[in-house]
Chains A and B, each alone.
Chain A
C-alpha cells in the first residue's frame, strides 16, 4: 500500500506499519504514527516550556554571582589602596 503513496504520506504509513509491530496499543488501528507524533510534539513543547524559566533563572543567578564577585573584588581593591 505504501508503494502507491509519496512523500510525507508514505513516511507516515510506513511508520504506522512499523508501530503495529509493537502491538495494538502502539498501532492505534494503523493511525499510530499520527497519534504518537501529536503526543511527541506536545511533550517536547511542554518540556521546552518548563526548561525556559529554569534557564532564565539560572542566567539571572549567574549574573548576580558575577556582580557580587565584582563588588567583592572592588571592595578588597579599595581596602588595599587605603
Chain B
C-alpha cells in the first residue's frame, strides 16, 4: 500500500526536483521580480506538492497569468486541500503522512 502511494507520488516528486533546480539556478538570475508572496515559482512548488502535477500545474498557470505589471500583488497562498494525506520532507519531496492532516496543521 505504501509502495503504491509512493509510486503515485512519483510524478509530483519529479516536478519538485525540477522546480527546486529552477529555483536554485534560474530564479536568482533575475532577482526578485514577483509581485506576490510567495513568488510564482514558490507557488508552483507548493501547488504541485499540495495538488499534484495536473491541478497544481493549472493553479500555477493561473497564478503566472495573474502576475502582470498591472496587478496589485500581495499575499496569495496556494489553496489547501481539505484532507491532507501527505507531508513534505525538508527538501520538498512529498511522502505519505502517518495520519491525515487537517488544514489547521498548515505548514509554514
Q: Is the pairing of A and B real? A: no
- Residues in B lying within 8 Å of A, measured CB to CB: none
- Residues in A lying within 8 Å of B, measured CB to CB: none
